[in-house]
Amino acid sequence: MSSDSRYPIPAARARAEIVVINSRFIADAAPTADIAAAKAFIAETRAAMPDARHHCFAYLVGYGASVTAGMSDDGEPAGTAGRPMLAVLRGADLGDVAVVVTRYFGGTLLGTGGLVRAYGDAVKAVLEALPRGERVALRSLLVQTSYSDYAAIRRALEAHGATIEEEDFAADVSIVASLPADGYERCLADLAEISAGRVMIDPL
């Protein structure tokens, strides 16, 4: 189940092209972790095809309740490009994604309905080609434990998917670890139970 701390994202870039009455619609999609990355991808795509008439775009940064969206018709009639592109993106169950559809005019006007369908279909085509991955938000913590509890504490951390970043063996053992945010509270409860409350935990 997707959440704001664990959600599907593009694993790499993808491109797809459709032709509608001699007009070419070239859709490029990319993972974009923030608005700056989305804008950079849009600018890069525009610069790669400077002779095209339109470079319309839509993007989603974040996921679920924390998503930020953007779109542009880039000179097409209002509401015929960016809005249908964004609607397809919103229905794709993806976060941190940007799509640019570059149009090369084919000499025949498509009308508003034709443009809406074409831009939406171009986004659908590139999403079909887009490999998917997952973004997992992480939280870090410092665990201080006795030598007698160390092995059990480490096993518990690893069972919760934690990555051990650093360990220091002094009078006690200090462990710096990062783990998926959606399992953070359960992990803390398990560590306290395993050590009978002896472990000290500080969020980082």
- Point out the domain boundary residue: 75, 101, 135: 135
Indicate the residue among 135, 160, 180 that finishes a domain.
Answer: 135
120 and 178 part of one domain: no
Residues 90 and 26 in one domain: yes
Domain membership flag for residue 27: yes
33 shares its domain with 105: yes
What is the predicted pLDDT for the residue at 3? 59
Instruction: Identify whether 1 is part of a domain.
Output: no
Per the model's pLDDT, the better-predicted residue between 25 and 195 turns out to be: 25
166 and 178 in one domain?
yes
131 assigned to some structural domain: yes
The count of domains in the chain is 2
CA atoms within 13 A on the CB side of 184: 20
Q: Find the CATH number of the domain harbouring 163.
A: 3.30.70.240
**Same domain membership, residue 106 and residue 72:** yes
Are residues 88 and 69 located together in one domain of the fold?
yes
Q: Is the pLDDT of residue 126 over 90?
A: yes
Q: Which domain holds residue 72?
A: 6-135
Dump pLDDT digits (tens) for 2-34: 556 789 999 999 999 999 999 999 999 999 999
Same domain, 22 and 119: yes
Predicted confidence (pLDDT) per residue in 170-188, tens digit: 999 999 999 988 889 999 9
* Statement to judge: residues 141 and 173 lie in one domain: yes
Judged against a pLDDT cut of 60, whether residue 203 lies above it is answered with: yes
Lowest mean pLDDT among 3-7, 68-72, 121-125: 3-7
Find the mean pLDDT for residues 139-145.
93
pLDDT bucket at 1, cuts 50 / 70 / 90: very low
